[in-house]
Amino acid sequence: MTVLVTGATGGIGSWTIDRLADEGHDVVGVDVERPPGTRVNAQFYAADLTDQGQTWELVQTVRPDTVVHCASIPYMGVKPGTETFRNNVMCTYNTLVAAGTVEADVVWTSSESIYGTPFAQEVWLPDYFPIDESHPYRPEDAYGLSKVVGEQIAQMAVRRYGISVVSVRPSWVNYPGRYDTTAIRESFDPTTADRSGNFWSYVDIRDLGSFIQTAIDADVDGHEPYLAVAEDNYLGRRTADTIETVFGDLPSECALSGEESVYTTEKARTELGWQPEHTWRTAEDDEVPGPSFL
Protein backbone atom coordinates (compact mmCIF):
# COMPACT_ATOMS: atom_id res chain seq x y z
CA MET A 1 0.00 0.00 0.00
CA THR A 2 1.20 3.51 -0.81
CA VAL A 3 0.60 5.96 2.02
CA LEU A 4 1.19 9.70 1.76
CA VAL A 5 1.98 11.29 5.14
CA THR A 6 1.89 15.07 5.53
CA GLY A 7 3.82 16.89 8.23
CA ALA A 8 6.74 14.52 7.66
CA THR A 9 9.23 16.41 9.83
CA GLY A 10 6.83 17.01 12.71
CA GLY A 11 6.53 14.80 15.77
CA ILE A 12 3.39 12.88 14.81
CA GLY A 13 4.17 12.73 11.10
CA SER A 14 7.75 11.51 11.49
CA TRP A 15 6.88 8.76 13.98
CA THR A 16 3.98 7.72 11.74
CA ILE A 17 6.30 7.42 8.74
CA ASP A 18 8.68 5.26 10.76
CA ARG A 19 5.89 2.94 11.88
CA LEU A 20 4.27 2.57 8.46
CA ALA A 21 7.63 2.01 6.76
CA ASP A 22 8.46 -0.68 9.32
CA GLU A 23 5.14 -2.32 8.44
CA GLY A 24 6.26 -2.54 4.81
CA HIS A 25 4.16 0.23 3.30
CA ASP A 26 5.56 2.44 0.56
CA VAL A 27 5.54 5.77 2.38
CA VAL A 28 5.75 9.21 0.81
CA GLY A 29 6.44 11.99 3.31
CA VAL A 30 5.81 15.65 2.57
CA ASP A 31 6.56 18.85 4.47
CA VAL A 32 7.59 22.39 3.63
CA GLU A 33 11.18 21.13 3.73
CA ARG A 34 12.63 17.67 3.22
CA PRO A 35 14.22 16.00 6.25
CA PRO A 36 18.03 15.80 6.24
CA GLY A 37 18.17 12.01 6.22
CA THR A 38 16.72 9.06 4.32
CA ARG A 39 14.66 6.06 5.30
CA VAL A 40 14.06 2.59 3.83
CA ASN A 41 10.55 2.29 2.33
CA ALA A 42 10.13 6.08 2.38
CA GLN A 43 10.74 8.95 0.01
CA PHE A 44 10.32 12.64 0.78
CA TYR A 45 9.06 15.71 -1.04
CA ALA A 46 8.86 19.39 -0.19
CA ALA A 47 5.56 21.18 -0.79
CA ASP A 48 3.46 23.96 0.71
CA LEU A 49 0.09 22.34 1.33
CA THR A 50 -1.62 25.71 1.75
CA ASP A 51 -1.03 26.07 -2.00
CA GLN A 52 -3.67 24.14 -3.94
CA GLY A 53 -1.53 23.68 -7.03
CA GLN A 54 1.39 22.15 -5.15
CA THR A 55 -0.91 19.90 -3.14
CA TRP A 56 -2.86 18.60 -6.11
CA GLU A 57 0.27 18.06 -8.19
CA LEU A 58 1.87 16.01 -5.41
CA VAL A 59 -1.17 13.89 -4.61
CA GLN A 60 -2.09 13.25 -8.22
CA THR A 61 1.50 12.30 -9.04
CA VAL A 62 1.87 9.91 -6.09
CA ARG A 63 -1.72 8.61 -6.31
CA PRO A 64 -1.63 7.09 -2.81
CA ASP A 65 -4.06 4.49 -1.55
CA THR A 66 -4.33 6.36 1.76
CA VAL A 67 -3.43 9.85 2.96
CA VAL A 68 -2.43 10.42 6.58
CA HIS A 69 -2.72 14.16 7.14
CA CYS A 70 -0.68 15.31 10.16
CA ALA A 71 0.48 18.71 8.91
CA SER A 72 -0.67 21.70 10.94
CA ILE A 73 0.40 24.39 13.35
CA PRO A 74 0.11 22.14 16.41
CA TYR A 75 -1.31 24.42 19.11
CA MET A 76 -2.04 28.01 20.07
CA GLY A 77 0.92 30.28 20.63
CA VAL A 78 3.23 28.94 17.94
CA LYS A 79 1.89 31.46 15.42
CA PRO A 80 -0.69 34.27 15.60
CA GLY A 81 -4.28 33.05 15.71
CA THR A 82 -5.16 34.23 12.21
CA GLU A 83 -2.16 32.43 10.73
CA THR A 84 -2.90 29.28 12.73
CA PHE A 85 -6.49 29.18 11.49
CA ARG A 86 -5.61 29.98 7.88
CA ASN A 87 -2.76 27.48 7.68
CA ASN A 88 -4.64 24.58 9.30
CA VAL A 89 -7.85 25.07 7.34
CA MET A 90 -6.20 25.61 3.97
CA CYS A 91 -3.78 22.69 4.20
CA THR A 92 -6.59 20.39 5.39
CA TYR A 93 -8.95 21.52 2.63
CA ASN A 94 -6.33 21.16 -0.09
CA THR A 95 -5.10 17.78 1.15
CA LEU A 96 -8.51 16.16 1.64
CA VAL A 97 -9.90 17.42 -1.65
CA ALA A 98 -6.77 16.28 -3.47
CA ALA A 99 -7.15 12.87 -1.82
CA GLY A 100 -10.71 12.75 -3.04
CA THR A 101 -9.66 13.35 -6.64
CA VAL A 102 -7.59 10.14 -6.57
CA GLU A 103 -10.11 8.22 -4.41
CA ALA A 104 -7.68 7.89 -1.51
CA ASP A 105 -9.10 7.33 1.96
CA VAL A 106 -7.87 9.68 4.69
CA VAL A 107 -6.83 9.49 8.32
CA TRP A 108 -6.09 12.89 9.79
CA THR A 109 -5.21 14.40 13.16
CA SER A 110 -8.02 16.48 14.57
CA SER A 111 -7.73 17.25 18.31
CA GLU A 112 -9.41 17.13 21.71
CA SER A 113 -9.22 20.94 21.38
CA ILE A 114 -12.33 20.67 19.23
CA TYR A 115 -14.38 20.67 22.47
CA GLY A 116 -13.09 24.12 23.42
CA THR A 117 -11.55 23.73 26.87
CA PRO A 118 -7.80 23.35 26.13
CA PHE A 119 -7.24 26.95 24.99
CA ALA A 120 -10.24 28.67 26.56
CA GLN A 121 -9.58 32.03 28.23
CA GLU A 122 -11.11 30.61 31.39
CA VAL A 123 -11.31 26.83 31.42
CA TRP A 124 -14.82 25.58 32.09
CA LEU A 125 -16.28 22.18 32.85
CA PRO A 126 -17.81 20.11 30.05
CA ASP A 127 -21.40 18.90 30.11
CA TYR A 128 -20.40 15.44 31.39
CA PHE A 129 -17.55 13.07 32.15
CA PRO A 130 -16.21 11.07 30.46
CA ILE A 131 -16.20 13.16 27.30
CA ASP A 132 -17.05 11.23 24.15
CA GLU A 133 -17.16 12.01 20.43
CA SER A 134 -20.70 13.41 20.70
CA HIS A 135 -19.96 16.14 23.24
CA PRO A 136 -20.73 19.64 21.87
CA TYR A 137 -17.91 21.69 20.35
CA ARG A 138 -17.35 25.14 21.90
CA PRO A 139 -13.90 26.39 20.85
CA GLU A 140 -12.87 29.93 21.76
CA ASP A 141 -9.55 29.84 19.92
CA ALA A 142 -8.22 29.68 16.38
CA TYR A 143 -6.64 26.24 16.77
CA GLY A 144 -9.70 24.46 18.14
CA LEU A 145 -11.91 26.19 15.58
CA SER A 146 -9.57 25.09 12.77
CA LYS A 147 -10.15 21.49 13.86
CA VAL A 148 -13.94 21.95 13.87
CA VAL A 149 -13.71 23.29 10.33
CA GLY A 150 -11.36 20.45 9.42
CA GLU A 151 -13.94 17.86 10.45
CA GLN A 152 -16.53 19.71 8.37
CA ILE A 153 -14.12 19.53 5.44
CA ALA A 154 -13.83 15.79 6.09
CA GLN A 155 -17.60 15.41 5.86
CA MET A 156 -17.64 17.43 2.64
CA ALA A 157 -14.93 15.23 1.09
CA VAL A 158 -16.92 12.12 2.00
CA ARG A 159 -20.08 13.51 0.37
CA ARG A 160 -18.35 14.78 -2.74
CA TYR A 161 -15.87 12.00 -3.47
CA GLY A 162 -17.23 8.94 -1.64
CA ILE A 163 -13.99 8.36 0.26
CA SER A 164 -13.75 7.49 3.95
CA VAL A 165 -12.19 9.89 6.45
CA VAL A 166 -11.19 9.11 10.03
CA SER A 167 -10.71 12.15 12.27
CA VAL A 168 -8.37 11.22 15.12
CA ARG A 169 -8.76 13.29 18.29
CA PRO A 170 -5.60 12.78 20.35
CA SER A 171 -4.91 14.51 23.62
CA TRP A 172 -1.48 15.97 24.48
CA VAL A 173 1.04 13.82 22.59
CA ASN A 174 4.13 12.74 24.56
CA TYR A 175 7.23 10.84 23.45
CA PRO A 176 8.95 7.91 25.21
CA GLY A 177 11.92 8.94 27.30
CA ARG A 178 11.06 12.62 27.10
CA TYR A 179 7.62 13.04 28.59
CA ASP A 180 6.78 16.63 29.53
CA THR A 181 4.55 15.53 32.40
CA THR A 182 7.16 14.85 35.08
CA ALA A 183 7.71 18.41 36.31
CA ILE A 184 3.98 19.10 36.39
CA ARG A 185 3.27 16.01 38.46
CA GLU A 186 6.13 16.51 40.89
CA SER A 187 5.09 20.08 41.75
CA PHE A 188 1.33 19.52 41.55
CA ASP A 189 -0.85 20.73 44.42
CA PRO A 190 -4.59 20.55 43.68
CA THR A 191 -5.35 23.38 46.12
CA THR A 192 -3.24 25.86 44.13
CA ALA A 193 -3.06 24.29 40.64
CA ASP A 194 -4.27 26.09 37.53
CA ARG A 195 -7.19 24.59 35.66
CA SER A 196 -6.10 22.15 32.97
CA GLY A 197 -7.86 22.52 29.64
CA ASN A 198 -7.51 18.82 28.86
CA PHE A 199 -7.86 17.74 32.49
CA TRP A 200 -4.34 16.22 32.65
CA SER A 201 -4.89 13.77 29.80
CA TYR A 202 -2.28 12.68 27.26
CA VAL A 203 -1.39 10.01 24.73
CA ASP A 204 1.87 8.24 23.92
CA ILE A 205 3.04 8.73 20.33
CA ARG A 206 3.34 4.94 19.96
CA ASP A 207 -0.33 4.51 20.81
CA LEU A 208 -1.29 7.28 18.42
CA GLY A 209 0.75 5.50 15.75
CA SER A 210 -1.00 2.21 16.46
CA PHE A 211 -4.35 3.99 16.16
CA ILE A 212 -3.40 5.46 12.79
CA GLN A 213 -2.31 2.01 11.57
CA THR A 214 -5.57 0.51 12.86
CA ALA A 215 -7.62 3.22 11.14
CA ILE A 216 -5.82 2.63 7.84
CA ASP A 217 -6.60 -1.07 8.00
CA ALA A 218 -10.21 -0.64 9.19
CA ASP A 219 -13.28 -0.74 6.99
CA VAL A 220 -14.69 2.69 7.84
CA ASP A 221 -17.71 4.02 5.97
CA GLY A 222 -18.00 7.79 5.56
CA HIS A 223 -16.59 10.12 8.20
CA GLU A 224 -15.95 8.91 11.73
CA PRO A 225 -14.24 10.75 14.61
CA TYR A 226 -12.41 8.82 17.33
CA LEU A 227 -10.75 9.91 20.55
CA ALA A 228 -7.25 8.46 21.01
CA VAL A 229 -5.89 9.02 24.52
CA ALA A 230 -4.10 7.13 27.28
CA GLU A 231 -6.26 5.28 29.78
CA ASP A 232 -5.10 7.33 32.77
CA ASN A 233 -4.29 10.91 33.66
CA TYR A 234 -0.61 11.77 34.09
CA LEU A 235 -0.91 12.95 37.70
CA GLY A 236 -1.34 9.58 39.39
CA ARG A 237 -4.36 10.99 41.27
CA ARG A 238 -8.05 10.22 41.27
CA THR A 239 -9.40 12.20 38.33
CA ALA A 240 -12.80 13.33 39.66
CA ASP A 241 -11.43 14.28 43.08
CA THR A 242 -8.67 16.32 41.48
CA ILE A 243 -11.03 18.15 39.13
CA GLU A 244 -13.45 18.93 41.94
CA THR A 245 -10.65 20.37 44.08
CA VAL A 246 -9.12 22.45 41.29
CA PHE A 247 -12.37 23.59 39.67
CA GLY A 248 -14.56 23.66 42.76
CA ASP A 249 -17.23 21.57 41.07
CA LEU A 250 -18.03 18.62 38.82
CA PRO A 251 -20.60 18.16 36.05
CA SER A 252 -23.87 16.71 37.34
CA GLU A 253 -23.14 13.64 35.19
CA CYS A 254 -19.76 12.25 36.18
CA ALA A 255 -18.87 8.57 35.79
CA LEU A 256 -15.17 8.76 36.70
CA SER A 257 -14.15 6.41 39.49
CA GLY A 258 -10.35 6.26 39.49
CA GLU A 259 -7.38 7.74 37.66
CA GLU A 260 -8.90 7.28 34.21
CA SER A 261 -8.77 9.93 31.50
CA VAL A 262 -11.73 12.25 31.14
CA TYR A 263 -11.84 11.24 27.45
CA THR A 264 -13.31 7.84 26.73
CA THR A 265 -11.96 5.60 23.98
CA GLU A 266 -14.96 3.29 24.08
CA LYS A 267 -15.90 4.04 20.48
CA ALA A 268 -12.43 3.12 19.20
CA ARG A 269 -12.40 -0.03 21.31
CA THR A 270 -15.85 -1.14 20.16
CA GLU A 271 -15.68 -0.24 16.48
CA LEU A 272 -11.98 -0.65 15.68
CA GLY A 273 -10.66 -2.98 18.37
CA TRP A 274 -8.02 -0.41 19.35
CA GLN A 275 -6.86 0.40 22.85
CA PRO A 276 -3.85 2.27 24.23
CA GLU A 277 -0.98 0.25 25.69
CA HIS A 278 1.36 2.83 27.20
CA THR A 279 1.29 4.83 30.42
CA TRP A 280 3.51 7.59 31.77
CA ARG A 281 4.55 5.27 34.61
CA THR A 282 6.84 3.32 32.28
CA ALA A 283 7.04 5.52 29.17
CA GLU A 284 8.93 8.32 30.92
CA ASP A 285 11.94 6.01 31.27
CA ASP A 286 11.60 4.10 28.00
CA GLU A 287 14.58 4.33 25.68
CA VAL A 288 13.11 4.31 22.19
CA PRO A 289 15.00 5.92 19.31
CA GLY A 290 13.05 8.45 17.32
CA PRO A 291 12.95 8.67 13.52
CA SER A 292 16.49 8.43 12.18
CA PHE A 293 15.83 10.55 9.07
CA LEU A 294 15.35 13.79 11.04
At 233-292, the pLDDT tens digits run 999 999 999 999 999 999 999 999 999 999 999 999 999 999 999 999 999 999 999 999
The CATH number of the domain where 48 resides is what? 3.40.50.720
pLDDT for 104: 98
Assess if residue 294 is contained within a domain: no
Assess if residue 289 is contained within a domain: no
Is the CB of residue 217 less than 8 Å from the CB of residue 209? no
Given a cut of 90, whether residue 79 has pLDDT beyond it is: no
The arithmetic mean of pLDDT across residues 16-41, rounded, is 98
Instruction: Summarize pLDDT for 156-191 with one digit per residue, the tens.
Output: 999 999 999 999 999 999 999 999 999 999 999 999
Given a cut of 90, whether residue 76 has pLDDT beyond it is: no
Give the C-alpha separation, 44 to 26, whole Å.
11
CB atoms within 10 A of CB 271: 12
User: What b/e string do you get for 27-58 counting C-beta neighbours within 10 Å, with b at 16 or more?
Assistant: bbbbbeebbeeebeebebbebbbbeeebbbeb
The arithmetic mean of pLDDT across residues 39-45, rounded, is 98
Assess if residue 223 is contained within a domain: yes
Give the C-alpha separation, 73 to 79, whole Å.
8
Q: What is the C-alpha R_g of the chain?
A: 19
Assess if residue 293 is contained within a domain: no
Outline where 27-180 has alpha helix (H).
52-62, 81-101, 142-161
pLDDT for 278: 98
Assess if residue 150 is contained within a domain: yes
User: Which residues constitute the domain of residue 218?
Assistant: 2-283
Given a cut of 90, whether residue 77 has pLDDT beyond it is: no
Assess if residue 16 is contained within a domain: yes
Assess if residue 288 is contained within a domain: no
* In the chain, % of residues over pLDDT 70: 100
Instruction: Summarize pLDDT for 49-73 with one digit per residue, the tens.
Output: 999 999 999 999 999 999 999 999 9
Given a cut of 90, whether residue 148 has pLDDT beyond it is: yes
pLDDT for 24: 96
pLDDT for 6: 98
Q: How many domains does the chain have?
A: 1
Assess if residue 290 is contained within a domain: no
Q: How much is the pTM?
A: 0.97
